[in-house]
Structure 1
């Protein structure tokens, strides 16, 4: 039985059992009038079939309405829209508002969780939250203190809550959950505090824990079958993680899971990435012989069965990471992508390390791995020859290594910086063009490791960073690009003064929209990147652009509220250039263009005369 959604008197009624909660999500996302998932859909396309706003008229957009969230920190993610209801979230303290679009955005209910503010100092890169999710008449909120809450979508009543981690150990919650079937799946943040990353599934009916898959450690705890879990076409073998760590360092080894998750219902697999190993100092993670060891499965892509959590395959992108190139960025699922004349159903991933991967999502075999910013200089590329001893591994440029001859090295001019050629700000895939539209950072760094001791709940970084635009360039720090994932090529690139830290949106109207750190909301033509609309919002934009239809009119909206890693200086009032894990100095000029804020702005076309 498929669930049916009907709308009446400002709310919706669901005819679905909890076991079929995924059907409620499928039904809600099928209707382009809604924006029913943070990712747009299970494939992470962030594409809308709405075309009322298009390349011919987008230049006529006008502001329809705005809403203040009352919080002055970085606003990531976006609202959800289901029928006539909009669900708005905030950074810490993670307030949720339900607005009735039929009643002039009247606040129908407000949920204000009580959280200990001591969680704020253990949130490495601002107090962000990437949004609530919907299923089976519930709104799911993942709080900063790692509490997962189920709210009644109609009333805002708290139905259940589950604690997923311990902030006293540095574990925090920043990601949006993923609902698949009768489970809600969440990750964990905190690799900069030496946490041990994991992905966890809870029953959506009562919040009971179903399974937990760790990123590092014994096979049973990682939910890895040494004979059936594959990597590069071969079984991973017994103790695939334990063999690649020095002693028991895997217990504080990082590999957190704070990014975006996607789901392929045909293969029944969820996809996500794991973060950096702890500490950032590679010497402290080297093997007993003083040589690099991989530290599996940090910096990796996992494919797992959502019912059991068992891993189908894993692929490590940056073994023995020396630069904090987290692998958590979104996995975009696209079908029929042509690679060397053959069509594949793929996973496309724009990694922090500056390489864009096109991977066969059934087998985990990488098909393409190319730089999506030409300045990337830490590697010459990935060996994709299955017969090579270095199959699947990036070739490290010795001069850009922070670990040379067994010693820490103060390494200069490494590109990209630790915040990556792209961080969590999600890209969009347009089936109109077959291209991916990617918000990027155009930033390099100096990286100086130092010895650090582990204490639970204290920073476990072990590196001092300075960030700056690529040397010898034009001085800009961001690009918005169109990417051909089959060829591994940039089709066009639009430079921006600062990093593009906003999630992109594409629509059937032929437009691609995004926001800039200084606060500009922009829409461009998907075909050539020509700018068609620009509007300066009250604060820098790190939120994700979304769209919906209400009473026959299409709307486009985005949060503005500067912050996140790139904007942490403004968000937290930091001034030391190396604070904010190196971002404060690199983005010091941002204060000349924007100030703190916390608002939602929504645009539409003017009424026809």
Structure 2
């Protein structure tokens, strides 16, 4: 008798969960809305809208603008749900709801009261990569690590949970991924000796469902040593602990401040882990697993399915957090379920997303020199490992080495700025950095809440470059080769958008929104917004009219000098000197610019 109410409750919960998941999926499938930061669960950042196309995009005009009132780096993009636009800002992480049917009228504004002491603990500017939507809620992960669910109609707080401790260096710069009845949340702070993790919270009430650490004992990492694989082989018992000296793993980095993707068919979620701590490799001998790793986990339990470590024993800060783009494509004559990843280390990877099999690993910037190649011979004991060039190593036999001319710089051949994929062309469109560095490691002691870097950097354009610091490229993930490349004066720090109109959009650090032909790369349109663009381009419709929107507001790692008023070339982990010329082309701002074709 007593089982009936329990069964009824269980059924109602299942129905509620299914509804929440189906509702978000329906909105992602509707090109008239922009329901998730990545465009869809596959991270393709592709829109089926084609009203704006390669033939008429030259006629784009600014339709309307909105000032955010904040003057630091503006990453991420707005969301559009049912003719309401949700706009976010950097710290203090204000959220606006704007009525797109009433001249952008502010419906509500949420401004959290955060301790400003979190600002100096945030690496590389006070950015935030946007809010998420699910189950009638807007979910914001604040800089102070509080995850807040707001009623999408009123802005009222539905629930709030604290994910980390800023006094230890744990902060947040990323968005979250809502999927099924959960919200997946990462953590920032690798430069402060944080141990990275991903946490699944209940979408309903914010209660914790599971947490998986990036390194440590198998029980902490949610690893089954016989079922979790690396390059097709079981990882074995305590695979992480065996690659760290002593308890260094407890302050080992591997933070999870990037993007997440999800495959509903396999129920796997994919993401990457960041740099090991400290940046001085001589202080942490071993492969430092599982930093710098692509991880595939079961969404419901968090249990790891497979890992692939791209940069074992990182010596250059080549975080592995960049987006995983999921596609179903023909590969070598066979239909495969693929994962494509453009890593900070300069290699573009293609893997089988179900098994973790490594299929392609090629340089997506010809300037990359720290490694000759990734070993692809499965019979070699070096299989899957980059072959490091000794000249560009930053430690030798456990001793610090000052190295010069390392390409790419620590900010990578691509940082978190997301690429896009067009199923029409089969190409990936990738914003890149064409930047090199000098690297001087030094010994550093750990103190909770204090920087734990241990390196001084200088950055500059690649010596063989056209004089610019960036390129926007089209990439073939089967052949592992660049199809075309557009040089830019500065790194391209904006997320790309591909559309069914055969147009690809991206922004530049000077502030230009650009549109190029998806097949040839020919520039079709350019407009300079009030500040440098490090936001991600998005698109939507209102009353049948297509709009393209992008946040401008210089900042982020590349623009930290302008954003924080820094002048010492070595500040900003070397970026201040590398991007000193930015001040000649743009200034601080915080604005949303929306474009449309004339009526």
Q: Same fold (TM over 0.5)?
A: yes
| Matched residue, 1:434 | 426
> Which of 322, 327, 337 matches 1:329?
322
| Matched residue, 2:6 | none
What is the CA deviation profile of residues 185-228 of structure 1, one whole-angstrom value per residue up to 9, with x for unaligned ones? 10000000000000000001110011000000000000000011
> Which of 273, 287, 299 matches 1:306?
299
Question: What is the alpha-carbon distance in structure 2 between the residues aligned to residue 192 and residue 256 of structure 1?
Answer: 9
| Matched residue, 1:604 | 596
Question: What is the alpha-carbon distance in structure 2 between the residues aligned to residue 38 and residue 472 of structure 1?
Answer: 35
| Matched residue, 1:409 | 401
User: Which consecutive segments of 4 or more residues in structure 1 shift more than 6 A?
Assistant: none
Q: 1:537 aligned to 2:535?
A: no
Deviation at 1:404, TM superposition (A): 1.6
Question: What is the alpha-carbon distance in structure 1 between the residues aligned to residue 116 and residue 110 of structure 2?
Answer: 17
What is the CA deviation profile of residues 249-273 of structure 1, one whole-angstrom value per residue up to 9, with x for unaligned ones? 0000000000000000001000000
Deviation at 1:20, TM superposition (A): 3.6
| Matched residue, 1:456 | 448
Question: What is the alpha-carbon distance in structure 2 between the residues aligned to residue 453 and residue 553 of structure 1?
Answer: 57
Question: What is the alpha-carbon distance in structure 2 between the residues aligned to residue 483 and residue 337 of structure 1?
Answer: 15
| Matched residue, 1:477 | 469
> Which of 527, 549, 559 matches 1:557?
549
Which segment drifts farther, 249-258 or 22-31? Answer: 22-31
Q: 1:570 aligned to 2:569?
A: no
| Matched residue, 1:178 | 177
Instruction: Confirm or deny: 8 A CA contact 1:16 1:24 kept in the other structure.
Output: no
Q: 1:137 aligned to 2:136?
A: yes
Q: 1:221 aligned to 2:213?
A: no
2:404 aligned counterpart, secondary structure: strand
What is the CA deviation profile of residues 78-117 of structure 1, one whole-angstrom value per residue up to 9, with x for unaligned ones? 0000121100000000000000001100000001111000
| Matched residue, 1:106 | 105
1:17 aligned counterpart, secondary structure: helix
Instruction: Confirm or deny: 8 A CA contact 1:559 1:600 kept in the other structure.
Output: yes
Q: Which runs of 5+ in 1 are unaligned?
A: 1-14, 287-292
Question: What is the alpha-carbon distance in structure 1 between the residues aligned to residue 257 and residue 447 of structure 2?
Answer: 22
| Matched residue, 1:150 | 149
Question: What is the alpha-carbon distance in structure 2 between the residues aligned to residue 447 and residue 334 of structure 1?
Answer: 37
Question: What is the alpha-carbon distance in structure 2 between the residues aligned to residue 119 and residue 554 of structure 1?
Answer: 39
Deviation at 1:24, TM superposition (A): 1.5
1:209-288 superposed matches below 5 A = 209-286=208-285
Question: What is the alpha-carbon distance in structure 2 between the residues aligned to residue 229 and residue 242 of structure 1?
Answer: 15
Which segment drifts farther, 44-53 or 329-338? Answer: 329-338
Question: What is the alpha-carbon distance in structure 2 between the residues aligned to residue 491 and residue 365 of structure 1?
Answer: 24
Question: What is the alpha-carbon distance in structure 2 between the residues aligned to residue 416 and residue 368 of structure 1?
Answer: 20
1:266-415 superposed matches below 5 A = 266-286=265-285, 293-338=286-331, 340-415=332-407
Instruction: Confirm or deny: 8 A CA contact 1:77 1:129 kept in the other structure.
Output: yes
| Matched residue, 2:3 | none
| Matched residue, 2:196 | 197
| Matched residue, 1:125 | 124
How many aligned positions are there?
586
Question: What is the alpha-carbon distance in structure 2 between the residues aligned to residue 84 and residue 389 of structure 1?
Answer: 55
2:550 aligned counterpart, secondary structure: strand
Question: What is the alpha-carbon distance in structure 2 between the residues aligned to residue 469 and residue 405 of structure 1?
Answer: 30
Instruction: Confirm or deny: 8 A CA contact 1:513 1:522 kept in the other structure.
Output: yes
Q: 1:466 aligned to 2:458?
A: yes
Question: What is the alpha-carbon distance in structure 2 between the residues aligned to residue 252 and residue 491 of structure 1?
Answer: 41
Which segment drifts farther, 471-480 or 361-370? Answer: 471-480
Instruction: Confirm or deny: 8 A CA contact 1:337 1:346 kept in the other structure.
Output: no
| Matched residue, 1:5 | none
Question: What is the alpha-carbon distance in structure 2 between the residues aligned to residue 418 and residue 485 of structure 1?
Answer: 24
Instruction: Confirm or deny: 8 A CA contact 1:377 1:415 kept in the other structure.
Output: yes
Deviation at 1:19, TM superposition (A): 4.9
Question: What is the alpha-carbon distance in structure 2 between the residues aligned to residue 518 and residue 359 of structure 1?
Answer: 35
| Matched residue, 1:78 | 77
> Which of 490, 496, 502 matches 1:504?
496
Question: What is the alpha-carbon distance in structure 1 between the residues aligned to residue 15 and residue 470 of structure 2?
Answer: 45
Question: What is the alpha-carbon distance in structure 2 between the residues aligned to residue 19 and residue 201 of structure 1?
Answer: 17
Instruction: Confirm or deny: 8 A CA contact 1:563 1:571 kept in the other structure.
Output: yes
TM-score (norm 1): 0.96
Question: What is the alpha-carbon distance in structure 2 between the residues aligned to residue 276 and residue 144 of structure 1?
Answer: 20
| Matched residue, 1:55 | 54
Question: What is the alpha-carbon distance in structure 2 between the residues aligned to residue 337 and residue 239 of structure 1?
Answer: 36
What is the CA deviation profile of residues 147-192 of structure 1, one whole-angstrom value per residue up to 9, with x for unaligned ones? 0000000111100000000000000011110011100010000000
TM-score (norm 2): 0.97
Deviation at 1:22, TM superposition (A): 1.8
Question: What is the alpha-carbon distance in structure 2 between the residues aligned to residue 552 and residue 473 of structure 1?
Answer: 44
What is the CA deviation profile of residues 509-563 of structure 1, one whole-angstrom value per residue up to 9, with x for unaligned ones? 0000000001011000000100000000000000000000111100001000000
Q: Which runs of 5+ in 2 are unaligned?
A: 1-13
1:21 aligned counterpart, secondary structure: helix
Aligned-residue RMSD, C-alpha: 0.9
| Matched residue, 2:8 | none
Deviation at 1:336, TM superposition (A): 1.4
Deviation at 1:18, TM superposition (A): 3.9
What is the CA deviation profile of residues 263-287 of structure 1, one whole-angstrom value per residue up to 9, with x for unaligned ones? 000010000000000000011112x
Question: What is the alpha-carbon distance in structure 2 between the residues aligned to residue 61 and residue 355 of structure 1?
Answer: 35
| Matched residue, 1:424 | 416
1:24 aligned counterpart, secondary structure: helix
Question: What is the alpha-carbon distance in structure 2 between the residues aligned to residue 308 and residue 361 of structure 1?
Answer: 18
Question: What is the alpha-carbon distance in structure 2 between the residues aligned to residue 489 and residue 54 of structure 1?
Answer: 26
Instruction: Confirm or deny: 8 A CA contact 1:18 1:204 kept in the other structure.
Output: no
Question: What is the alpha-carbon distance in structure 2 between the residues aligned to residue 16 and residue 231 of structure 1?
Answer: 36
